[in-house]
Amino acid sequence: MLDVSKLLDEIQSAPYAELSIAAPHSGLVSFGELAPGGKVFGPSGPWKEKPGTLLAIIERERNKRPIYAAEKGEVMLVHEELAGTFVQAGTEIMRLRHFLSKEEVLSIILKKALHLFTAPERAKYYFIPAVDIKVKVSGPKAITVHDGMELFIMSRMKRETPLNYSGPEGVIYAVYFNHNQNMDAGQPLIGICPPDLVGAVEDAVMRVQTDWKEEE
Amino acid sequence: MDIEKKLHHLNERLTYIRDIFAGKHNENVRLLETKMADYREREHILSAKDREAAVTTLEDLFGFVERKLEADLTPMDKVRIVRHPQRICLRDILENVYDNYTEIGSKDEHSIDPSMVIARAYITRRQGKKTFNQSVMVIGQEKGHGEEFRNGGSVKPFGNAKAQHYMQVAETENIPIHTYIFTPGSYPVEDPPGAGQQIAKNIYEMSGLRVPVVAVISEGGSGGAEAIGLADRRLMLSHGYYSVISPEGAAAIEGRLREGERASPELIEKCARQLKITAQDNLRMGYVDHIIQEPELGARPYHYDFFRTLRQEILRATDDAVLSVRGFAPFRAMILRSRRKKAEELDLDSVHVRWSLSSSARDRLLAKRHRKFRKLSRHAAPYLRPLSRQIKDWFNEFGWDFYAHFKYDFFGRRKQSVSHALEEIDAEVRVVTSRIMAPWRKLKGKLFNGKSRRQQAETERQLTELSSWDEQDQRGGHWKYVSPRAKEDRAITCPNAAAQGCLDLWAPDLFGEFAGVCPNCGHHFPMEYQWYLHNVFDENSIYEFATELEAGNPLEVEGFDVKIEQAKKATGQKSACMTFEAQINETKLVVAMLMATFRGGTVGAAEGEKFIMAAERARKKRYPFLAYVHGTAGIRIQEGTNGVIQMPRCTMAVRRYIDAGGLYLVMYDTNSYAGPVASFLGCSPYQFGIRSANVGFAGPGVITETTGMVMPPHYHNVYKALARGHIQGIWDRREVRFNLTQALLTMGGPNLYYR
């Protein structure tokens, strides 16, 4: 069985992801003014249309290609010795440390703890009426699902088909779709948690929600 | 009480003076302030009679100062006047100029667009004991007196669409249209039906409106003004402005400011002066017909005498437009046209002129409107050529007219009727013979299995062999013109590389064989216009005409002579518009091309004139007409209204051409924005974009600056434009020749020579 509190402790002991920035293709490397400890930012703007911080430039055949930071974080290491030299594709030129946000930590925990049932095709999804009433009255956690159980109605272009649940037995921990919302194929619809793990997961989520401090 | 009211009124006049001079003439403002304060101090010790006398003295002083300041008004002061919330607005005019009116489709902010007001109104005139109620359609932008929801008179696309609708209604009802222009410019969002495209539709509609149109300009901001400004008589208020761009916008361009920076007041003042935006300038250049004199420092709602003058001028203009095309009214027409003192004193309320027109009078009205606009702005780009050439050109044009008339109208039509009759006979004979021969064919089918041996062999070949690549369309990468950029030894990254994973491209490949198209994602890199000249049209088929027309500096803007000379030197062209005849698969056509390399492909008087000449040539020779827009940044702002007037002028030429049965195609490449798109390009029923091109009204920077909204990336991309219904198709650069051939075969009126 998954030990949720141990997982959380593990994340807390190293609350970041390390990103290795590699040369996308061969070429001459030149760095900007970034030094270890420097802050970098990911793309910004309402459509993420403004690129992040400029990390390095790789020049090949008189074509300068800038490399931008994809996420917010801190510079750990700059391979200064490569500046002005010709590197091969895939060579690491820089390493960034990206501190995990609350949402990212939660997604790590839930990904490990939950079984996700995904949408088989783009459509609108509803619970069947019997389940729907239960969800509305006592919340999704009141429902235990098992393999082969009729659970959803899949509605597309006014054509409604029943959809059976397949996967391990458990309670519905999270519902990811809304009424009248189109879900793409492959998007998760519900997250299923083994019944004995519910308490531990809830506890961990609460701890993250209240205590997690995002490092700058 | 009465005195309090008067004082309040004087206070407003003081605020007004302070606002419109923005820090200038401080001594006069201070004088008025101290006099007001003096009075306030002494107020309680004065008797009622003395108070009245003191207020009257104050009023006289205000009048004196206003008269004095009137003489010192600069163009920028006038801009501040028309923008002031105390300035008269359209609803004041509806209240005070017309005898009765009903607003159509708006109640304050409850309207599809509160900045466009439409009203049915009438004017009552008396002749002896009879009264006549003369209906008009009033259309105009409404700024309101500081009403936020009016958007300062910036009309959204659907507001302009509403105006277009009611112009059509007026046409059906055969009543004149009075338009009042109170706009700083159109609202630049591309909501359907599209800012630029809708203005284009409005101008196109107005160029064919078969009722008299009178326009009054107070604040004429570029495209927004043109959307309702194409009129038989154009009047202008003496303190108004009519311009291609706001002085602030011009200063931002002139000073090469970046986003967020502000131009200095001196630079703005200079730009306002150089752009020649005032009523007096526009009258001198011929873009308005008459100036309506306003009271000192501009008309405000309490200037009731001014509304009387306005009413008389509106009546005069409408009567004049009507009488100039209608039957017998020599005395009335003479009086109306005379601007002598005595004639001006005539009260037009007591003269009756019926405003409805007969069908033939409507035709004359339209022809007259077209002639009027055709003549405008010629002084700004004189067509200089020796007399011998002029005579030769005249003979040529006459020759085409005569030839086309004879060949297509006279001979062609007779030939057609004969061939139609022969077709009918042929079809009849075929039906009869097929009936008679039916038994024989049945027998033959049974004997030879339905098909001859040769037919069978052909079917077998088609089914077993591979089809061959059509060399004609893409020429297997062997282009006749190759961009000089292909000579550079370097790699280029496609802008979609991150999203689509395109590999770096080697310039000689990209600009050579690939014709500037990324082989992975299909992104089109901009190409030189020469590429199209050589690779789209038949070899050696290009014949350029009207080459003598040169772009100039009609407003004598400081330093612009040098810039235009530089552009001519760098490009080897004399203007941004190249006009030529060419052939595609031996179909002849006339092409007008706007080149992005010549000052951004901006359109000034010379470019407009060339475009019109091309449209007229296509009409005379019965050729299809293609506008290839290699790129255009809009109207050339340094030419001021000389540039703006090209919007209606060129659209009218296009309208004449299309109405005569021609095929007008538009092809957008790279970036096409503003005035041209909002007029003579956007009005075409067949507009196509080259992939990766941008088409729109205002660029993203301008939208953010004027509306405060940030637009998503690729907002003006051709695919978005296609989805919004602005253009009719997207073409691959390598297939332009094929697509053009296809378009020539499938579109267009019956008047083209090859049909």
**pLDDT level of residue A1 (50, 70, 90 thresholds):** low
- The predicted-structure confidence for A15-49, as pLDDT tens digits, reads as follows 888 999 999 999 999 998 888 999 999 999 899 88
User: Rounded to an integer, what is the distance from CA B108 to the centroid of its chain?
Assistant: 29
pLDDT at B95: 95
Rg of chain A over CA atoms, in angstroms? 23
pLDDT at A102: 86
To the question of domain B82-308 being in CATH 3.40.50.300, the answer is no
- Domains in chain A (CATH in brackets) are 15-99 (2.40.50.100), 104-211 (2.40.50.100)
Tell which residue, B123, B122, B118, has the closest CA to residue B91: B118
**What's the burial of A182, exposed, middle or buried (CB within 10 Å: 0-12/13-18/19+)?**
middle
- Residue ranges in chain B modelled with pLDDT below 70: 1, 259-260, 339-344, 448-451, 468-476, 750, 755
Measured between beta carbons, which residues in chain B are less than 8 angstroms from residue A45?
710
Measured between beta carbons, which residues in chain B are less than 8 angstroms from residue A57?
none
CB contact under 8 A, B490 and A25: no
Measured between beta carbons, which residues in chain A are less than 8 angstroms from residue B490?
61-63
Distances (CA, A) of B268 to A80, B238, B252, B273: 50, 21, 8, 9
- In this structure, the dihedral spanned by the alpha carbons of residues A182, A185, A190 and A194, taken in order and rounded to 10 degrees, is 180
pLDDT at B471: 54
Q: Are B240 and B228 in contact (CB under 8 A)?
A: no
Q: Which one of B489, B490, B713 has the shortest CB-CB distance to A49?
A: B713
Q: Which residue has the tokens 């196509």?
A: B688
- Which CATH homologous superfamily contains domain B529-746? 2-enoyl-CoA Hydratase; Chain A, domain 1 (3.90.226.10)
Q: Using an 8 Å CB-CB cutoff, list residues of chain A that contact chain B.
A: 25, 45-47, 49, 60-63, 65
Report which residue type is found at B711. Answer: M
Chain A nearest CA to B504, separation (Å): 9
pLDDT at A12: 83
| CA closest to B504 among chain A residues | A63
Measured between beta carbons, which residues in chain A are less than 8 angstroms from residue B489?
61-62
- The predicted-structure confidence for B208-257, as pLDDT tens digits, reads as follows 999 999 999 999 988 899 999 999 999 999 999 999 988 888 888 887 77
In degrees rounded to 5, what are phi and psi of residue B349?
-65, -20
pLDDT at A7: 83
Q: Say which residues have a Cβ less than 8 Å from residue B220's Cβ, sequence separation at least 6.
A: B181, B183, B229, B236, B240, B241, B242, B243
pLDDT at A117: 94
Measured between beta carbons, which residues in chain B are less than 8 angstroms from residue A46?
710, 712
| Percent above pLDDT 70 for chain B | 96
DSSP letter at A177 equals -
**pLDDT level of residue A51 (50, 70, 90 thresholds):** very high
Chain A nearest CA to B718, separation (Å): 19
* ipTM exceeds 0.85, yes or no: no
Best mutation target, A25, A26, A61, A65, to test chain B (most B CBs within 10 A): A61
Provide the mean pLDDT of chain A.
90
CB contact under 8 A, A46 and B710: yes
Tokens of A139: 């919340």
Q: Are A101 and A49 in contact (CB under 8 A)?
A: no
Best mutation target, A26, A28, A47, A57, to test chain B (most B CBs within 10 A): A47
**pLDDT level of residue A204 (50, 70, 90 thresholds):** confident
Q: What global pTM score does this model have?
A: 0.89
CB contact under 8 A, B490 and A63: yes
Number of A to B CB contacts under 8 A, please give it: 26
CB contact under 8 A, A62 and B489: yes
- Coil, helix or strand at residue A5: helix
